[in-house]
Amino acid sequence: MCGIVGYTGDEQAVPIIIEGLKRLEYRGYDSAGVAVVHDSALCVTKEVGKLGALAAALEKSPSVGATGIGHTRWATHGEPSRANAHPHHDCAKSFSLIHNGIIENYLEIKEELSRAGHEFVSETDTEVVVHLIEENYSGDLLQAMLATMKRLKGAYALAVVTAHEPDTIVAARCGSPLAIGFGDGFNMIASDASAMLGRTRRVAYIDELQAARIRPDECVICDIDGAEIEPEIKEVTLSLNDIEKGDHPHFMIKEIFEQPALIRDVLARRISPTSGEVDFSEARLDELGLEHVEKILIVACGTASHAGMVGKYYIENMARLPVDADVASEFRYRNPVVDEKTLVIAISQSGETADTLAAIKEARRRGAKALSLVNVEGSSIDRESDSRIYVYAGPEIAVASTKAYTAQLLSLLLFSLYLGRKRGTLDKRRCAELVDELMSIPEKIQWTLDNHDTLKACSKTFSDAPNFLYLGRNYNYPNALEGALKLKELSYIHAEGCGAGEMKHGPIALIDDKFPVVCLAPAGRVYEKMMSNIQEIKARHGVVVAIATEGDEEIARLCEHVIYVPATDEMISPLLTVVPLQLLAYYITTIKGLDVDQPRNLAKSVTVE
Our CB check for ligand F6R shows the closer of 126 and 582 to be 582
Our CB check for ligand F6R shows the closer of 8 and 408 to be 408
Measured distance CA(5)–CA(87) in Å, rounded: 12
**Strand 369-374, strand 387-390: pairing:** parallel
**Catalytic residue status for 2:** yes
| End-to-end C-alpha distance for the chain, whole angstroms | 11
Phi first, then psi, for residue 66 (nearest 5°) are -105, 5
Report, in Å, the least distance between residue 384 CB and ligand F6R.
Answer: 13
Contacting residues toward ligand F6R, per CB under 6 A: 301-304, 348-350, 353, 356, 400-401, 485, 489, 605-606
How many residues does this entry show for the chain? Answer: 609
Report, in Å, the least distance between residue 472 CB and ligand F6R.
Answer: 17
Report, in Å, the least distance between residue 348 CB and ligand F6R.
Answer: 3
- Crossing angle for the helix pair 302-319 and 477-491, nearest 10 degrees? 170
CB 34 within 8 A of CB 63: yes
Report, in Å, the least distance between residue 356 CB and ligand F6R.
Answer: 5
Measured distance CA(243)–CA(456) in Å, rounded: 27
Our CB check for ligand F6R shows the closer of 200 and 598 to be 598
Half-sphere exposure (Cβ direction) of 224: Cα atoms closer than 13 Å: 11
Report, in Å, the least distance between residue 237 CB and ligand F6R.
Answer: 20
Nearest one of 395, 354, 400, 403 to 377, comparing CA atoms: 395
Our CB check for ligand F6R shows the closer of 63 and 401 to be 401
Report, in Å, the least distance between residue 489 CB and ligand F6R.
Answer: 6
Work out the angle at residue 238's Cα, subtended by the Cα atoms of residues 171 and 160, and round it to the nearest 5 degrees: 10
Our CB check for ligand F6R shows the closer of 236 and 304 to be 304
Report, in Å, the least distance between residue 74 CB and ligand F6R.
Answer: 12
Half-sphere exposure (Cβ direction) of 211: Cα atoms closer than 13 Å: 21
Our CB check for ligand F6R shows the closer of 549 and 590 to be 590
The residue number with the shortest CB distance to ligand F6R is 302
For the beta carbon of residue 433, count every other beta carbon within 10 angstroms: 12
**Strand 179-182, strand 187-190: pairing:** antiparallel
H or E element, residue 364: helix 354-365
Report, in Å, the least distance between residue 573 CB and ligand F6R.
Answer: 21
Exactly one of 444, 486, 488, 604 is catalytic; which is it? 604
Measured distance CA(280)–CA(263) in Å, rounded: 16
Our CB check for ligand F6R shows the closer of 347 and 534 to be 347
Measured distance CA(469)–CA(507) in Å, rounded: 8
For the beta carbon of residue 341, count every other beta carbon within 10 angstroms: 13
H or E element, residue 536: helix 527-539
Strand, coil or helix: what is 527? helix
Our CB check for ligand F6R shows the closer of 327 and 544 to be 327
Q: What does the DSSP assignment read for 247-275?
A: T-SSHHHHHHHTHHHHHHHHHHHHB-TTT
Report the catalytic residues.
2, 604
